[in-house]
């Protein structure tokens, strides 16, 4: 935490090595987070790229009020959410014209993205409605509090807790092979 403060302090004073250090330190965590949310590594990397571009532009006026990791995770979650919305819109428009899109859990890139060991988990995550997936991932992977997730999703904490609980139940069901999602 103290290191984060130092890095932000130097970042605000124009030290590029501070941004580089921040990127190197968090890149894998942020890509993992974005990929788990979007179930698409290419898009996940675009999100992380955009987050850092935005972060770089805030140099000199960036104020850290919590942890840097938490801040960057929230940025990733917001951008992933926006991308998901526009993707849904695109799919909706496309399905009106042509044919149904491939469902998330049939995503061909899952093994490449999550690896063979985690492929099953990737498929299970892909099968969750976005809001539930977001609640589960932000809680378990990003370590965010339900209240913070609620703020991000624009719903009550109870709703987020419900989404989290339903999400976990569906993952459990899927992973135990009881019902196909």
Work out how close the CB of 138 gets to another protein at its nearest, in angstroms, rounded to a whole number. Answer: 11
Binding mask 81-110 for another protein (x = CB under 8 A): ------------------------------
Q: Please, which residue, 125 or 152, has the CB nearer to another protein?
A: 125
By CB under 8 A, is residue 153 in contact with another protein? no
**Selected binder of another protein within 25, 45, 151, 155 (CB under 8 A):** 45
Q: Please, which residue, 92 or 165, has the CB nearer to another protein?
A: 165
CA-derived radius of gyration, the chain: 18
Only segment of 4-12, 84-92, 99-107, 146-154 that touches another protein (CB under 8 A):
4-12
């Amino acid at each position: 935490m103290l290191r984060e403060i130092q890095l932000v302090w130097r970042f605000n004073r124009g030290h590029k090595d501070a941004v580089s250090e921040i990127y190197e330190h968090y890149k894998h965590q942020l890509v993992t987070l974005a990929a788990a949310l979007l179930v698409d590594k290419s898009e996940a990397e675009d999100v992380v790229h955009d987050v850092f571009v935005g972060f770089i532009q805030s140099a000199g006026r960036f104020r850290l009020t919590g942890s840097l990791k938490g801040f960057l995770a929230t940025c990733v979650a917001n951008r992933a959410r926006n991308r998901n919305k526009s993707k849904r819109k695109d799919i909706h428009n496309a399905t009106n014209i042509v044919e149904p899109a491939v469902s998330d859990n049939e995503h061909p890139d899952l093994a490449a993205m999550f690896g063979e060991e985690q492929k099953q988990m990737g498929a299970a995550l892909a099968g969750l409605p976005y809001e539930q997936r977001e609640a589960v991932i932000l809680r378990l992977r990003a370590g965010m509090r339900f209240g913070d997730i609620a703020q991000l999703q624009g719903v009550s904490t109870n709703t987020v807790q419900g989404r989290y609980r339903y999400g976990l139940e569906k993952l459990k069901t899927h992973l135990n092979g009881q019902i196909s999602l």
